[in-house]
Structure 1
Amino acid sequence: MNVTIVRACLRDGRGGSPTAVLDETPLTDDERREVPVRAGTSHAVFLSAGQDGDEVALRFFTAEGELPGCGHGTIAALAVLAERTGTREVTLRTRAGALEGRAIRHENGGLEGWFTPGPVELREPAGGEHEEVLTALGMGRDTPGCVVATLGRPRLLVPLPTRSTLSALTPDPDRLRAACDRLALLGCYLYSAPTPDGRVAARMFAPLIGVPEDIANANSTACLAAHLAREGLPRVTADMGDSLGIPSTITAAVRHHTDGPEILVGGAAGFPDN
């Protein structure tokens, strides 16, 4: 198999989440789960382009199985398409639905991938349902401001006052996985209080898909943007991966149209030899 490794969601040209991208190939789902393991990445993306190149089907896998969507995997796929064919705008078909994607190539050769992840559903946690997750994170059970956000699958958004508070957290992985399993949560996305221009630090723990901590999570950043837009913040830039020594950055913006809000999320992408 010809596997391309893309560093998705770079920060100032550094870091990024290594993601395996390869053409659709006749593999069983169990064999697809082996690809990210062998490639040394958390996720693998299988892409299949239509004859006219205007539509591309994507499938996403971790070692635990298939995902309906993957934000940084989508950015990685857009980078590969732009590198191969110069594709700028494309409709992406995923198990979660159709997405509109766009690749931007800068004069210095840098690439960015942007896409519309779809609508986000937000709700307050039902009476005490999130307390077990907070305990597993090493936080107080009465932490205010938590929100359940669903984009494909539900996850818990957890606010923290400062970046230092966020970086100091040491979750109990077994308890966190058990709590997320019981509540059918993909995981939990923790973020620091945003600056006036929407900059946050964030960490994503996704035990149910075999990712103890994600280097970059674009879909959860899109969820946060939808949440903070209700408070008047139109744009969020999330710094992730610092606790793992691999910096990454994702940006998400909310645009308001007559038929409702639209989220646009993206980040820079590069290849290991760039």
Structure 2
Amino acid sequence: MTHHSSPLTHHTPYRVYAAPHTEGGKLVSVFPAAQGDLQAQAASAGTPLSVFIEQVNEQGAQLRVFTPTRDKGESDSAAIAALHHLFAAGQIADVTDVQMAGQTYPAQLCGGEWLLRQGDVSVSDAPHAEFGALGFTPDAVQIASTGRPNLAVQLPDLASLQALTPDAEVIRQLGQATGTTGLILYTREAPRADVSFRAFGPLKGFYEDAASSNMFACLVGALSVRGLLPEHEPLVRGLQHMPGLPSRLTAQYLPQPGGASDLWIGGSAVLLEPAGLNG
């Protein structure tokens, strides 16, 4: 159940946000202590993300997050893996705080999934933009932000969403033209969920994200403004369709006329055997 390579690199691998019955989502290694060369340990962990538990007290958990090559600062998926790990060990309550990179994030356990508070989402109409170079004509376009503006674009069906391979430079130019840093493509066609989406961010330093809590938060706000979320049901499920890595994210929110407030995003975390790292 745990993976050993040296006394200081003892860690436990988790798969976070995976869509049910898939090997999608994100792989995260949880280190129970922050000792020694953290960057070297993250480089040898065998997962894209490593989270080190620096301290746990009555206020919550203090974490450090690394990729194999750099100090990432903060990561919701890493925090969710650490929260599952600490709660299973009886070290935290089901309502707590997480500290990462000098910021504090309230967290709560809901239906077996940890959710982190994203705050409020503001939504506005998008300026006119040309989508022809991306190969589609959108059904609706909005700008949604929790501090970082994202372009939310509706496509007609799931097949259109899954078939797209948009050019990174075209996405960059679209972001610059609309004053946004990320592109969310979505459709309401979503098996056993409320919405299907993909998240692109060349202006943020990545092409496509397998599971983006910030972009899902923005999408929930955009859908809320259009009245497209379930009435009288504060829980929303989203399926993220990065090819080969399907993910499912959960949102809780309060609908507001201009977006969504008190929005929390999270998902599942599954403990892996070392062999599962290759999934």
Fold match (TM-score > 0.5): yes
Counterpart residue number, 1:230: 225
Within 5 A, what are the aligned runs for 1:197-216? 199-216=194-211
User: CA offset at residue 270 of structure 1?
Assistant: 0.4
Mean CA deviation greater in 260-269 or 245-254: 260-269
* Contact 2:251 2:265 (C-alpha < 8 Å) held by counterparts: yes
* Contact 1:5 1:20 (C-alpha < 8 Å) held by counterparts: yes
Could you report, residue by residue, the CA deviation over 1:110-130 in whole angstroms, capped at 9, with x for unpaired residues? x421121112232333454xx
Q: Quick one: distance in 2 between partners of 1:45 and 1:245?
A: 24
Counterpart residue number, 1:93: 99
Q: Quick one: distance in 2 between partners of 1:86 and 1:145?
A: 45
CA gap of 1:144–1:244, structure 2 versus 1, over 3 A, is closer
Within 5 A, what are the aligned runs for 1:253-268? 253-255=252-254, 261-268=261-268
CA gap of 1:190–1:60, structure 2 versus 1, over 3 A, is farther
Within 5 A, what are the aligned runs for 1:59-138? 59-62=64-67, 69-87=74-92, 88-95=94-101, 97-103=103-109, 111-128=112-129, 131=130, 134=131, 137-138=134-135
Could you report, residue by residue, the CA deviation over 1:68-98 in whole angstroms, capped at 9, with x for unpaired residues? 6533333223222223335222112244843
- Residue 269 of structure 2 aligns with an amino acid whose one-letter code is A
Q: Quick one: distance in 2 between partners of 1:78 and 1:237?
A: 20
- Residue 75 of structure 2 aligns with an amino acid whose one-letter code is C
- Residue 112 of structure 1 aligns with an amino acid whose one-letter code is E
Within 5 A, what are the aligned runs for 1:30-49? 31=39, 35=42, 38-49=44-55
* Contact 2:119 2:261 (C-alpha < 8 Å) held by counterparts: no
Q: Quick one: distance in 2 between partners of 1:118 and 1:94?
A: 16
Could you report, residue by residue, the CA deviation over 1:219-256 in whole angstroms, capped at 9, with x for unpaired residues? 21111112222233254311124x42232211212126
CA gap of 1:196–1:6, structure 2 versus 1, over 3 A, is closer
The gaps in structure 1 that reach 5 residues or longer are: none
- Residue 122 of structure 2 aligns with an amino acid whose one-letter code is E
- Residue 263 of structure 1 aligns with an amino acid whose one-letter code is L
Counterpart residue number, 1:250: 249
* Contact 2:139 2:155 (C-alpha < 8 Å) held by counterparts: no
* Contact 1:79 1:103 (C-alpha < 8 Å) held by counterparts: no
CA gap of 1:223–1:113, structure 2 versus 1, over 3 A, is same
Choose from 6, 9, 13 the match for 2:14: 6
Q: TM-score, normalised by structure 1?
A: 0.74
Equivalent pairs counted in the alignment come to 255
User: CA offset at residue 186 of structure 1?
Assistant: 3.9
* Contact 1:62 1:209 (C-alpha < 8 Å) held by counterparts: no
Q: TM-score, normalised by structure 2?
A: 0.73
Identity of aligned residues (%): 27
CA gap of 1:67–1:271, structure 2 versus 1, over 3 A, is same
User: CA offset at residue 139 of structure 1?
Assistant: 3.2
The structure with more radius of gyration: 2
* Contact 2:254 2:262 (C-alpha < 8 Å) held by counterparts: yes
Secondary structure of 1:85's counterpart equals coil
Q: Quick one: distance in 2 between partners of 1:25 and 1:190?
A: 41
User: CA offset at residue 2 of structure 1?
Assistant: 3.7
